[in-house]
Structure 1
């Protein structure tokens, strides 16, 4: 099992657009092979940070997921939404294993 952590730096003036983006992902992620733990949005402290946490059986399963996302029309539409609204400034991925 590996966990993909996506660390987002957000446009703090577009948090509503990012929240819409995050709410669209769960069925897409599940359909394409990921196991979504959740999206976490700013509450206290920094208003421009968010996190997504997704589990995969292996790095190979993650690669299959990425290929499926590239072909998924809903995933493409959601990525277009993020680009159009400019809600995401930076997106960094880390892969972790559970202790």
Structure 2
């Protein structure tokens, strides 16, 4: 069964460009570490401080293995560090979904 991690980010609306750079960095890192990146979405109209990321995995075990790999990856660590230093992510929620149809 495939699961998809739906990540809801609350971002600083004055630092959207920094979040966009962060999201673009994941385009190569996530697949390298075993995730099937469906994409990142940025605010366009309306709410200006909510962004989303979706990543699929074959199982929760595959997700846990991916989390270990991404934390050990040099580029992954650098991207996490940039987010912490620039503080453009104010909150993050993860929901694990399975496809119904």
TM-score normalised per structure 1: 0.98
CA RMSD of aligned residues (A): 0.5
* Partners of 2:71 and 2:79 in 1: CA distance: 12
Partner of 2:97: 96
* Stretches of 4+ aligned residues off by more than 4 angstroms: none
Partner of 1:28: 29
SS at structure 2 position matched to 1:79 = helix
Kindly report which structure 2 residues correspond to 1:1-99, keeping only aligned pairs within 5 A, or say none. Answer: 1-99=2-100
User: 1:61-87: CA deviations, max 9, x gaps?
Assistant: 000000001100100100111111111
In 1, distance between residues paired with 2:74 and 2:92?
Answer: 21
What secondary structure is seen at the aligned counterpart in 2 of 1:20? helix
Unaligned runs of 5+ in 2: none
Question: Could you say what secondary structure the match of 1:60 adopts?
Answer: helix
Q: Work out the CA distance in 1 between the residues paired with 2:42 and 2:27.
A: 15
Aligned residues: 99
**TM-score of the superposed pair, with normalisation by structure 2:** 0.96
Structure 1 gaps of 5+ residues are none
